[in-house]
Amino acid sequence: MVLYHLSVKIIGRGSGRSAIGAAAYRAAEKLRQKDLEEAKEKEELRSLEAAAYRSGKELRSENKEIIHDYTKKGGVVYGEIILPENAPREYANRETLWNAVEKSEKRKDARLAREIEAALQTEFILEEQKAILREYIKTNFVDKGMIADYNIHNNEGNPHAHIMLTTRHVSPDGFGLKNRDWDKDTELIGWRESWAEINNRKLKEKGLDTRIDHRTLKAQGIDREPTIHLGHKAWALEKKGVKTAKGDYNREIQRRNEERAAKKELEKVNKTEESRKIRQAQKTVQYIENPPEPEKESPFVSELERGLKAEKAARIAEKSREEREAEKTARYMSELKREYFELDKEFSLIMWEISRHKQDVPQLSYLVENMDEQAKNIDMLRDNAARIQTERKNLSFWEGKRKKEKDLEIEKILGNIKTVQHYFKKTFAIDPDQAPGAIKRVREKIREKQNELDKKNAQISAVRERQAAIELEYHTQKLLNELRPDKEQIEKLLVKMHKSPESVRDRLRQDEIDHRLNTITEENFQKIITKLPEHQAEILKARAQAKERERLIELARAEKDHTRTIERSC
């Protein structure tokens, strides 16, 4: 089942993050960060750490050996850097690229990179996912002058991409001014629409009927109120059983949606019952106003007249019996079609629930990645502080100058730890030491979602199996009708019993189902004739062959007429 998910965020120093650490984590690599000037050392060390975390690789400083190592991080299946034509070729190296980004930024709250996270469709294999990402990145970002560093992650069957983008103009000499046009809302809308367009085109090329949609529920014509995003704090509280304002709002929206659906179903049932009562009342009034006259038999009726009347009565009885049989068959076929329609609606509902669960999985996976990144960032800072403290302790008493330098380094790192811990607690509503437990709980939630998806997939299989059985039975009745003298009467009754759905969506669904049930496939035809008596099977085969001959003759005649038309025009 396809789903749409695309989110955009900024990686900046203001939240204690870095481009180097982000790139390293996302690529599962080990990158190093170059030596920094004293004035900006504190902020740019964070950048290296975040890049290492995102790429899952090791990043280090060339002079101070500040390493961001995430090579043990799992789930990264592919990574690539795409450069514009005018970018320096050495930027194809991840460590060189993001060190250059860090160096180009002077402010302590600088915006270092833009990140786009997008869900990848499981209907595509890895090579197809790469092709889609390359086309999307080149069209929307690289052709406009951005450098894109993208990585494909696949954790627990949740394939998604992290695309890190530069924020400044790039030339052969390096990075220049910021491009503020890339921050406009119109750009974001275009990126979201382009992602849907490229995926849908590839789905169509692959022969799949499913599509994704970047629009809101209202724009899609879906009569359902959307819920709001809880956010990390509210989600953590709700997980602990503490109700929040956002959670209460979503529960109220869900209740209203359920009430709206129930009300529509009740109105539909009431309308059907009301129509039945009106028809019954009309028949009663007609019977009262025009009662049937009792038949008076003359005492002088001859034997011949009695015989004719008996024969007429027998014909009427036979005709009535045939009409009842025709009505019974038509009603049976109509009920099959109605059940097929309800199963198709159930199928769509289950698919929607699957889509909802699959949308939750990327968000939860991203939460785990983000929390893991921040927690490891804090642990690395603590390790650096402990290492420098050990080095200071081992200095001799006459190395006072070096002791002061180490004290300053320790003070800076402790300040960094305090800042990052504050940001962690503000973002996730828990202390950093509680991160392992929180990550474990979120992963349990992901597994629950996956189990629920397995159950829904089993339900989908059952629905499809029942639909296939109904389709075969309907086709059987349709073929048997070809052998009945009351075929036309059955067709008229089927048209009369047909009730057009009220909504446009259901009418389109009904039209598609009618086409599906009225078109007998070759596979079903072969299954049906093997179950029928031999004489009926032979008749149906002969009719099918005759229809095929007529079709071929008509095609030959049309081709001949077309040839004559061409010859006349020449």
Q: What are phi and psi of 31, to 5 degrees?
A: -120, 150
pLDDT of the chain, 570 residues: tens digit per residue: 567 888 899 998 877 778 888 888 888 888 876 655 443 444 455 555 555 555 555 555 444 556 777 888 778 889 999 999 999 999 999 999 999 998 998 888 889 999 999 989 888 999 999 999 999 999 999 999 999 999 999 876 778 899 999 999 999 999 999 999 998 888 999 999 999 999 999 999 988 888 888 777 667 766 677 776 555 466 667 777 778 877 888 888 888 887 777 777 777 767 776 777 677 766 666 666 666 665 555 554 556 566 666 666 667 666 667 778 888 888 888 899 899 999 998 988 888 888 888 888 888 888 888 888 888 888 888 898 899 999 888 888 888 888 888 889 889 989 988 998 898 889 888 998 998 999 999 899 888 888 988 898 999 999 999 999 999 999 888 888 888 888 888 888 888 888 888 788 888 888 888 888 888 888 888 888 888 888 778 888 887 788 778 878 888 888 877 777 777 776
158-165 and 111-119 beta bridge pairing: antiparallel
Q: pTM for this structure?
A: 0.48
- Give Cα 100 to chain centroid, integer Å: 37
Q: Are 127 and 84 in contact (CB under 8 A)?
A: no
Token pair 């309907």 is at which residue? Answer: 474
Distances, alpha carbon 505 to alpha carbons 340, 349, 375, 499, in Å: 16, 13, 48, 15
Return all residues near 34 (Cβ < 8 A) that are at least 6 apart: 61, 62, 63, 99, 102, 103
**C-beta separation of 388 from 409 below 8 A:** yes
The helix (run of H) or strand (run of E) holding residue 396 is none
The residue type of 263 is K
DSSP 228-272: ---HHHHHHHHHTT---HHHHHHHHHHHHHHHHHHHHHHHHHHHH
What are the contacts of 466-474 at 24+ separation with CB within 8 A? 466/343, 467/340, 467/343, 467/344, 467/347, 470/336, 470/339, 470/340, 470/343, 471/340, 471/516, 471/517, 471/524, 472/524, 472/527, 472/528, 473/336, 474/333, 474/336, 474/337, 474/340, 474/517
Q: Quote the pLDDT of residue 466.
A: 92
Instruction: State the Cα angle at 357 between 344 and 376, rounded to 5°.
Output: 165
Distance CA 514, CA 507 (A): 10
Q: Which amino acid is at 128?
A: E
> Residues with Cβ < 8 Å from 453, sequence gap 6 or more?
354, 357, 358
Three-class SS of residue 224? coil
Please name every residue paired with 175 in a beta bridge, in sequence order, or none if there are none. Answer: 170
User: What is the length of the chain?
Assistant: 570
pLDDT at 163: 95
